[in-house]
Structure 1
C-alpha cells in the first residue's frame, strides 16, 4: 500500500499541472487571468473515504460565494487519496452536482471535474484527447456562472475550445504529454 499523498504534495503537483498543461498548452484560455491575479482558492481533501467529499465541496461552494470574485473567483478541491477509479469519481461528481443544486447553487456555480484516468464516453482509455480533463489527482472545480459567462462572451468562438484542445493534444502526442511531467509526485512541495 502506498503512503497517502500530503496536502503539500497535492498542491504542488496540481499547481504544476495548471501551469504546464492547462495554462502552458492554453487548454483553458480563461485560467491564466485568475491564476495571475491569485483568484484561485486551492483546497485539499485528504481523507480516503469519499463519503464526506461532497460535504467538503458544499462547504467550499459556500465559502466561494461568500467571497468577492475579485478575491476568490474559483476553487479547486483536490482529493488525492480517494476515488482512484474514474467511474466511481464520475458517479460522485454527478451526485455532487445534484447536491450543489439542492443547496441553492444552481445558476450560481458550475462544477467541472478532472481525474488522472479521465475518459470521455466513446473513447479508448489511451486516447490522448482524454488528457484535456486529466489532472494529477481527482479534482472538483467550482466556477462562478457569472465569470464563465463573461469569459465566454470575451472569447470569440468559445465553442471551438474543445476541438482546438483535442488538436493540440494530438499534435503533442503521448510522448509530448509525458514530457510535461504533470503527474502525481512530479513537483517537489
Structure 2
C-alpha cells in the first residue's frame, strides 16, 4: 500500500512540475495560470486496471466536475500512468471519451483535451517539436468547462495565435531545452 501511495505521489509531483514549468512556465496555455494559482485544477491519478474501470472513473470525474461550482473546481486532469503507453491506443480512447460526453448529453457543457508523452499531431514527424505542446509525463484526459473556455477566449484578444506562438516558443527552446525544463 505504501508503494502505491508513493507512486501516486510521484505521478502528481511530475504532473505538477509539467504544469508549472511547461504549461504555465512557457505560457503554452495562457488561461492555465489563473485556475492553477486559485487551486481550481483537480488532479486525480487513475487506478483503473482495464478500460471499463477507466470509463467508470472518467464518468465519476465528469459528474464531480459538474456538481461543483467552477470557483471551487474549474477543470480536472485524469492522469493515467499505467495504461496507454501507445499514443494511438490513447487517441482511440479519447475518441471513446468524447462519445461518452455525447452519451451523457454533456456536449456544450464539458470538453476533453488530451496530453500524452508521445503525442503526435497528424501530418507531423514524431520528433517534430510542435508535438510537445501536447506532451505530458503521462497520458492525461483534461476535462474543461465550456463556459470557462468561452470566458477565457473572450478575455484573450486573438486566441488563434496561441498555437502559432507555442510553436515559435518550442522551436526556440528545442527538444533538449524542453527536456532541461524537468531536470531537478
Displacement over 6 Å in runs of 4+: none
- How many residue pairs align between the two structures? 181
Report deviation, 1:84: 0.5
Report deviation, 1:114: 0.2
Q: Distance in 2 between matches of 1:164 and 1:78?
A: 26
TM-score relative to the length of structure 2:
0.94
Between 1 and 2, higher relative CO (CA 8 Å, sep ≥ 6) is seen in 1
In 2, are the aligned partners of 1:45 and 1:79 still within 8 Å (CA)?
Answer: yes
In structure 1, the gaps of 5 or more residues are none
Partner of 1:92: 93
SS of structure 2 residue aligned to 1:96: helix
Q: Distance in 2 between matches of 1:39 and 1:125?
A: 33
Partner of 1:161: 162
Partner of 1:102: 103
SS of structure 2 residue aligned to 1:157: coil
Report deviation, 1:47: 3.0
Q: Distance in 2 between matches of 1:137 and 1:50?
A: 16
SS of structure 2 residue aligned to 1:6: helix
SS of structure 2 residue aligned to 1:113: strand
In 1, are the aligned partners of 2:55 and 2:97 still within 8 Å (CA)?
Answer: yes
More deviation, 172-181/21-30: 172-181
Report deviation, 1:48: 4.2
SS of structure 1 residue aligned to 2:93: helix
Q: Distance in 1 between matches of 2:12 and 2:49?
A: 17
1:30 correspondence with 2:62: no
Report deviation, 1:86: 0.1
In 2, are the aligned partners of 1:23 and 1:32 still within 8 Å (CA)?
Answer: yes
Q: CA RMSD in A?
A: 1.5
SS of structure 2 residue aligned to 1:126: coil
Report deviation, 1:65: 0.5
Q: Distance in 2 between matches of 1:162 and 1:98?
A: 26
Partner of 2:62: 61
Partner of 1:11: 12
In structure 2, the gaps of 5 or more residues are none
